[in-house]
Amino acid sequence: MKFSEAWLREWVNPDLETAQLAEQLTMAGLEVDSIEPAAGEFSGVVVAEVLSVEAHPDADKLRVCQVSTGEGEPLQIVCGAPNVRAAMKAPLATIGGRIGDMKIKKAKLRGVPSFGMLCSARELGLSEDHEGLMDLPVDAPVGQDIRDYLSLDDTLIEIDLTPNRGDCLGMEGVAREVGALTKTDVTTPDMTPVKTAIEDALDVSVRAPEACPRYLGRVIRGIDPDAQTPLWMKEKLRRGGLRSLGPVVDVTNYVLLELGQPMHAFDLAQLSGGIEVRYPKAGETLTLLDEREIEPASDTLLICDQDKPLALAGIMGGEHSGISANTHDLFLEVAFFTPEKIAGHARRYGLATDSAFRFERGVDAGLQSRAMERATALLLELVGGEAGPVSETVSEAHLPQKTPVTLRRDRIRRLLGFVPDDAEVENILARLGIAVESVDSGWLAIPPGFRFDLAIEADLIEEVGRVFGYNNLPSANNRGDLKLRPVPETVTPLERVKAMLVDRDYSEVISYSFVDADTQSVIVPGIEAVALANPISSEMSVMRTSLWPGLAGVVKFNIARQQSRIRIFESGLKFIQQHNELKQERVIAGAVVGDRLPEQWGAKPEPSDFFDVKADLQCLLDYAGVEARFEAGEQPALHPGQSAAIYVEERRVGWLGRVHPQVAQKLEIPGKTFLFELELDVVLKGRVPSFEKLSRFPSIRRDLSVVVSAETSAGALCDTIRAEAGPLLQDLRVFDVYEGKGIESGRKSIAFGLILQDSSRTLTDNDVDAVITVITGQLEQKFGAILRE
């Protein structure tokens, strides 16, 4: 919202400098974005009258003008503006004056002396119009400084309003705020109802009262189509960010800036029959003021006559019913539209209008009558004509209801830490337009119609604190009872788990909990996802049933930006629908792409593989003291030959593997992408360290190499070895796996290193041989293992 400080001070004039006023507005929640002068920097520019215009002897596009400044002899000015003409009044920069950094001097243009410069509006910093000289009214006083004539020693203030403060999208709302903040009286312009001179009226039928509870219309006949907008109104519109479009449209825009109430004027001659406010019929089209033809959606409210749509309600008018140079009769409308029925419709058609911006945030449902009278009075003053009676259609049941809100002193103290005097609280609320009645515990307040954001007690307390001034609230030391919560030693902090992955060269990412349904169905098919009722976009329409869709999106994003090595993880919730209930599971998941190590001179590049990622997971499991096993398994998103299910005891707690080639292709990520997902509670289970007495006796290592079927897992062999070796086995290592020459097809060789030790004596060769014999016998019996020579 941009407004002129001078215009604001016509409404309310506190004893504050511009900077102080801006600071007070900002501290009250109406953040001031910018403060800038109403015009560019210039001096020595006066109102001048062009007496005569002659052709330049040596230039087709230049004119030699005789110009009067009201004093002395006329000045000769060489001018190239296409609109210069005799009897025209325009700004003249005199010799010695300045426009920005340029000093005006006597000059010669194609051999003809020029004693000044006639100016355009853009040269004076008043607008972007540079098509010709700034055309001043015929009654502009010749010789008067243009800054004084246009009152340009003014400041433009722009405030950034939050969506809940639609009441400040008009000068009246801003003035009301300033009056409340500074305890200054607000002066309201005269809005006395206009006397009707004719009885003409149009029938109005509102067929969607839930979307348009109030609609006012008025016929005005016999306006002057040649009338011009006065300079004072043009200037106020310009300083509010709007350009002049003719007196009728300018009046509706002026009321928009003044009261915050959008209005629209139709050419009465273009209307057929009465007015209908309704939803569109099938196949109906509308050509907007920007000459674009649209087919309104079934839930888009329209303003229509008996034959055709005239406008998108609350958004933009239609081309064929707009005001033109031939308009003599008007139908002036003003309405209240329910915010929920207007919100989002402008964006649907690629529009962004001042009307929609206000209606979406809420316009006072009691403002329409005042706006109609104000606009009518201005129109009769500027373009003449005769006004008919106001026809009003209203559905009281669909208008916003003013619900009383209880405000308690104890609640104010609890939220603000301080309660102002009762008189101060009542004064603050009253200045904001809130009706207040004292009750035992505090007050009963009825919010005004222009404040859609005041609905609960906390809203009123915020208003009290905001207007009283947060910086004026007394300070106090906070007090509270601190309770120490026990920290179980058997729980590993999540931050520690994250730190371990960071230490292993992973980066943490955070993705949305809602994902694209199609992407998720590729990665996790067959699982019903919870659909969002109001998604941010179509690509975020369902809750995630795995963290992999989000990680895949991060991988794709980074690959597209030339990042070839990616190691990421995320911890969070996934959402599973089970038996009409939503189950939330905490998991930690990750993705790995690219080389095992960053590029360096000390090692050759080697791509990451399944076992690199498995080692990272094993690190987390070992730290938590969890004995897990990895078993080959099939998961739709993973490569059938390079994937494993993770089990703790007999329960599957996660998956690990290389992404399936078809899935990688659909997701547009590299084929050698490795994914893992693990239940978070598994790795958060800690263990309490305990001391085990160190043996004083030497250990013995025996290596055992066996040939088994290629499908036999090393994990199964290790389990058997541990079971048979018993307490003598201190460590077991797989140090070699071989398939190839010397080994039968379909079989492989696995070599184990066994570390044996007793805590009470030195083991002999016979002791070790006995253990090895039992182990080999069991391996042969269970797996058909043969000792490799």
Residues making up the annotated binding site for Mg(2+) are: 453, 459, 462-463
For residue 442, what are the β-bridge partners? 408, 439
Question: Which DSSP letter does residue 607 get?
Answer: B
- The rounded distance, in Å, linking the Cα atoms of 706 and 711 is 14
**Binding site per annotation, positions:** 453, 459, 462-463
Spatial CB neighbours of 622, under 8 Å, sequence gap ≥ 6: none
Of 163, 190, 161, whose CA–CA distance to 177 is shortest? 161
Three-state SS letters, 407-421: EEHHHHHHHHCCCCC
Cβ 515 vs Cβ 509: under 8 Å: no
- The rounded distance, in Å, linking the Cα atoms of 633 and 635 is 7
- The rounded distance, in Å, linking the Cα atoms of 185 and 183 is 7
- The rounded distance, in Å, linking the Cα atoms of 425 and 430 is 9
| Residue at token pair 């002659």 | 54
- The rounded distance, in Å, linking the Cα atoms of 31 and 165 is 11
* 319 φ/ψ angles, rounded to the nearest 5 degrees: -70, -40
Three-state SS letters, 500-563: HHHHCCCEECCCCCEECHHHHHHHCCCCCCCECCCCCCHHHCEECCCCHHHHHHHHHHHHCCCC
**Positive or negative torsion for Cα 692, 696, 697, 702:** positive
- The rounded distance, in Å, linking the Cα atoms of 136 and 89 is 5
Transcribe 763-778 into DSSP letters: PPHHHHHHHHHHHHHH
Residue 267 in tokens: 């050419």
Of 187, 239, 236, 183, whose CA–CA distance to 15 is shortest? 183
Give residue 120's identity as a one-letter amino acid code: S
Cβ 162 vs Cβ 17: under 8 Å: no
* 3-state SS class at 594: coil
- 10 Å Cβ neighbour count for 683? 26
Four-CA torsion 465, 466, 471, 476, nearest 10 degrees: 20
For residue 584, what are the β-bridge partners? 575
Cα 232 to Cα 105, 157, 382: the distances in Å are 31, 18, 12
Cβ 508 vs Cβ 588: under 8 Å: no
Cβ 21 vs Cβ 28: under 8 Å: no
Residue 128 in tokens: 């972007």
